[in-house]
Chain A
């Protein structure tokens, strides 16, 4: 995954960048399977690797395929690097207090998770705990998610619809065509 990410950083051809983005997504889906999150894995594979790659390719079809190689001044090179490194070091400092990987005594596993695991089969009747939490215990979360998706869809439609209308205005109208015929 790290190699893919670095190649994405270096490469200029946007088509390759987008395809590598899809590969990166697919690799992360495999990682989720290893971490026992099968539901997340197939959502990531379908939505992350599938739909977003298609959307990106659609955008590339409407725009350009090559990234312009820009002249690097020393400021545009060093400033982001310093910011990124200091953020990374701050985050690593923050992880020193985190519980170990896979530790069953970590605080995350002792809040609501035991209740979901112990009672959800009796209360909701689903063998898959993720489904029952998603649809029942945290149903409002899912409702909020649907609202976000709906709003985003409306936004996309508004942005792309104004574009089409403007194109129609540029197209010759019927009156223009009749004038041309008269001239001929």
Chain B
């Protein structure tokens, strides 16, 4: 592969997305606090949204709403899919948070290590 093919400015949007995604992933697997894990999951999720929306962008296009004087529109399909995904994402976050609340009541902590320690004591 040639140099200018690898360092292609047209792919920067994907790389930004991957960077954000990996930060979210790292928070999820490396941090023990359950609320922080959920925030990391949200970061991961939002970066996937950005990936989809940036794929739908067309250079010189506008938002896909008809109006006089606009001919080029961005692709509306990713927008629709991500609208659905955002709402579903909040629903699953709410479910995760209520699980955290229950775990806190059962174990008295929301740190993964403490929970494991208590499990081993039994």
**Interchain Cβ contacts within 8 Å, total number:** 268
B63 to chain A: which residues have CB within 8 Å? Answer: 36-39
Known: A101-B13, A149-B87. A87 touches B25 (CB 8 A): yes
Q: How far is the CA of A162 from the CA of B105 in the complex (A)?
A: 11
Can you name the residue of chain B whose Cβ is closest to the Cβ of A166? B105
Interface size class of A (residues with CB under 8 A): 35 or more
B75 CB contact (under 8 Å) in A51, A60, A113 = A113
Q: Is the CB of B84 within 8 A of A142?
A: yes
Can you name the residue of chain B whose Cβ is closest to the Cβ of A150? B91
A56 to chain B: which residues have CB within 8 Å? Answer: 35, 38-39, 93, 97
Q: Is the CB of A59 within 8 A of B100?
A: yes
Q: Is the CB of B42 within 8 A of A52?
A: yes
* Chain B, range 70-118, C-beta contacts under 8 Å to A: 72-84, 86-95, 97-102, 104-105, 109-111, 113-114
A102 to chain B: which residues have CB within 8 Å? Answer: 10, 57-59
**CB of A156 within 8 Å of the partner chain:** yes
* Chain A, range 83-128, C-beta contacts under 8 Å to B: 83-85, 87-88, 91-92, 95-96, 98-104, 106, 108-109, 112-113, 116-117, 121, 127-128
**CB of B122 within 8 Å of the partner chain:** no
A51 to chain B: which residues have CB within 8 Å? Answer: 90
**CB of A184 within 8 Å of the partner chain:** no
A109 CB contact (under 8 Å) in B39, B75, B80, B83 = B75
Query: Which A residues have a C-beta under 8 Å from some C-beta of B?
Result: 1-2, 5-6, 8-9, 14, 17-18, 21, 24-25, 28, 31-32, 35-40, 43-44, 47-48, 51-52, 55-56, 58-60, 62-64, 67-68, 70, 76-77, 80-81, 83-85, 87-88, 91-92, 95-96, 98-104, 106, 108-109, 112-113, 116-117, 121, 127-130, 133-134, 138, 141-142, 145, 148-149, 152-153, 155-156, 159-160, 162-163, 166
Q: Is the CB of B93 within 8 A of A76?
A: no
* Chain B, range 1-57, C-beta contacts under 8 Å to A: 1, 5-6, 8, 10-16, 18-27, 29-33, 35-36, 38-40, 42-43, 46, 49-50, 53-57
Known: A36-B64, A40-B83. A81 touches B26 (CB 8 A): yes
Q: How far is the CA of A65 from the CA of B95 in the complex (A)?
A: 20
